[in-house]
Amino acid sequence: MKRQRGRPPHADLLTPGEWRTVHSIQHGMSNAEIARRRGISVNAVKFHVSNALAKLGLRNRRELRAWFRAPAGSPVTQTLEAPVQITQIGQIARSVGDTATAEKWYRDVLGLKHLYTFGALAFFDLGGTRLMLSQEGGAAKESILYLKVADIAAAHRDLQARGVKFTHAPHMIHRHADGTEEWMAFFEDPDGRPLAIMAQVAHGAG
């Protein structure tokens, strides 16, 4: 029997590497930033982008940023089908000049509860609201409010129906060790200032 060459076909629409690349693009990252974050070459990132565009029938990165679908097996696919209700700020992003310096100041001087640091991002807990310090973009970048929703797919759909213009479709930004996924989608207020909806979804939820 003749052995088939190459990788076996993946069960999902995109491979895991392609999903990670697509979600990074939807988060606004460049090819160079994705390569640096993932520890791969820029050419490998370009390869993933090209494959994803071909598989999805999209023409460019702009269309890719607006495209939304959750990977097979993601808890986000277990939609609640409930009307969107925003009652809580889940996260506030604050740009800083240097993450290490800011982390020490917020932790040791202000006494905030440090959760964890991931690369150039440091996270603190403020009574259930997460503060994210980000070195990317520099200290002059405007803060972003992240509005917490239970079902990001339903919230994205309902807010679009109300006329909200999303700049970035829902995308997964992180999967914790326990399988909990963090998803975000960005849009703008009437003055053009950035806002986002966010959801933390655990496997088996819904």
- My answer on whether 110 and 189 are in the same domain is yes
Count of domains for the chain = 2
- The pLDDT of residue 205 is 52
Distance CA 45, CA 10 (A): 18
CB 146, CB 196: distance < 8 Å: yes
Paired strand residues for 154 = none
Residue 198 has pLDDT above 70, yes or no: yes
| Average pLDDT in the chain | 86
**Residues of the chain by 3-state class (helix, strand, coil), percent to 5:** 30, 25, 40
CATH number at residue 91: 3.10.180.10
- My answer on whether 108 and 195 are in the same domain is yes
- My answer on whether 59 and 91 are in the same domain is no
Q: Is 2 a member of any domain?
A: no
* Residues 132-154: tens digit of each pLDDT: 998 876 555 678 889 999 899 99
Residue with more model confidence, 31 or 5? 31
- My answer on whether 154 and 129 are in the same domain is yes
Under DSSP, is residue 121 helix (H, G, I), strand (E, B) or coil?
A: strand
- My answer on whether 126 and 197 are in the same domain is yes
**Mean pLDDT on 86-101:** 89
Q: Is 73 a member of any domain?
A: no
Question: Domain range for residue 59?
Answer: 16-67
- My answer on whether 134 and 177 are in the same domain is yes
CB 205, CB 75: distance < 8 Å: yes
CATH number at residue 51: 1.10.10.10
- The pLDDT of residue 138 is 57
**Mean pLDDT on 109-132:** 92
